[in-house]
Amino acid sequence: MKLQFGLMLASVALLFTTHAGAADITGAGATFPYPVYAKWADAYKKVTGIRLNYQSIGSGGGIKQIKAKTVDFGASDKPLTVEELEKNGLTQFPTVIGGVVPVINVEGMQAGQIKLTGAVLADIFLGKIKRWNDSAIAGLNSGVNLPGSNIAVVHRADGSGTTFLFTDYLSKVNPEWKEKIGADASVAWPIGTGGKGNEGVANFVKQIKNSIGYVEAAYAKQNKMSYVQLQNRDGAYVIPVEDSFRAAAVNTQWNSATGFYEILTDKPGQDSWPITGATFILMHQSQENPEQALEVLKFFEWAYVHGDEMALALDYIPMPDNIVRLIEDSWRTRIKGKDGQTIYSAR
């Protein structure tokens, strides 16, 4: 079940025919979940006639727009802390789990043929490792005919939750990266070319020979991009597939994560993909238009019930049913009208 339109259309609204009395749902933010949100939106429109307008502008933009109340919901792959949520009168909940994938365009190298550790990956993005046949890479890839070409680094140019997950991981596995660059949605990149959105990075990597970048797994899959094997916390080399994302997420303690604040990078487990993360929806706790807020919650309620297969087809991991119940409970207690009335009722 693949999207039938190019990912370059990610920043274009998804507009569909609505039924009488239903308002458009508007959202903006993360490019990480765009493929699955687009798929859900198309299916939801066919069932309900309600249209979704989601602008895939990056997590930073989504956070800004929800704070400014210019959209019904914001979307971010970087979860906000409890302090940030309360300061801005927001609440958040996760929708799906996915992986961030280092992708390459190296002539003669197939998907998964090159192995990297997190420390070596960080040194590449620091500019310390400059050629593909550097001894640090060659030592991990015995028998692989690595070219002596210069490595072209591609990164995000916009504020991005994908960047947050990537740099959070690099900070955990490389002390120099943690000290000099750190983990955030936007960082001071030492080297490289910046692309806007996951789609922008994917396109640059496809166009630039001997390049390396990082994108959400669905973008790598849909664009048939070559990826690296990455060593995880347990020392095993793994590939970015559904099972490795699920392995990283299996022990996540959502029920004890206040405000659903949970970061899934560098998780233990022999099969765990090391750059895994959830993506989140942000909404205001006090709603000036309760009816509109309810339309948003109905959309995600439908997605939790009917959207699992669509998510799995794009290598996202759906939220477990027991966590969905926690999320829906949070809607009842955290999202209310201005007079304090509950907006959402249990299905």
Task: Indicate if 331 and 291 belong to the same structural domain.
Answer: yes
The residue type at 8: M
Task: Indicate if 41 and 58 belong to the same structural domain.
Answer: yes
Per-position pLDDT tens, the chain of length 347: 333 333 333 433 343 333 444 578 999 999 999 999 999 999 999 999 999 999 999 999 999 999 999 999 999 999 999 999 999 999 999 999 999 999 999 998 999 999 999 999 999 999 999 999 999 999 999 999 999 999 999 999 998 999 999 999 999 999 999 999 999 999 999 999 999 999 999 999 999 999 999 999 988 988 899 999 999 999 999 999 999 999 999 878 888 889 999 999 999 999 999 999 999 999 999 999 999 999 999 999 999 999 999 999 998 999 999 999 999 999 999 999 988 999 998 76
Task: Indicate if 223 and 213 belong to the same structural domain.
Answer: yes
Task: Indicate if 124 and 212 belong to the same structural domain.
Answer: yes
Task: Indicate if 195 and 239 belong to the same structural domain.
Answer: yes
Task: Indicate if 194 and 311 belong to the same structural domain.
Answer: no
Q: What is the DSSP string of 59-106?
A: HHHHHHHHHTT-SSEEEESSPPPHHHHHHTTEEEEEEEEEEEEEEEE-
Check: CB of residue 273 under 8 Å from CB of residue 230: yes
Counting the structural domains of the chain, the total is 2
Q: Does the pTM of the predicted model rise above 0.85? A: yes
Q: What is the CATH number of the domain that holds 91?
A: 3.40.190.10
Helix (H) or strand (E) holding 306: helix 290-306
Task: Indicate if 170 and 232 belong to the same structural domain.
Answer: yes
Task: Indicate if 197 and 229 belong to the same structural domain.
Answer: yes
| Separation in Å, CA 321 to CA 81, 295, 336, 337 | 24, 21, 23, 27
Return the closest-CA partner of residue 51 out of 23, 30, 27, 72: 23
Domain membership of residue 330 as a residue range: 7-98+277-337
Domain boundary among 235, 251, 267: 251
Task: Indicate if 199 and 295 belong to the same structural domain.
Answer: no
Q: What are phi and psi of 155, to 5 degrees?
A: -140, 175
> Is 344 part of any domain?
no
284 CB neighbour count, 10 Å cutoff: 20
Task: Indicate if 132 and 176 belong to the same structural domain.
Answer: yes
Helix (H) or strand (E) holding 318: strand 317-318
Domain boundary among 216, 251, 286: 251
Task: Indicate if 143 and 240 belong to the same structural domain.
Answer: yes
> Is 264 part of any domain?
no
Q: What are phi and psi of 279, to 5 degrees?
A: -120, 150
> Is 271 part of any domain?
no
> Is 195 part of any domain?
yes
Task: Indicate if 240 and 107 belong to the same structural domain.
Answer: yes
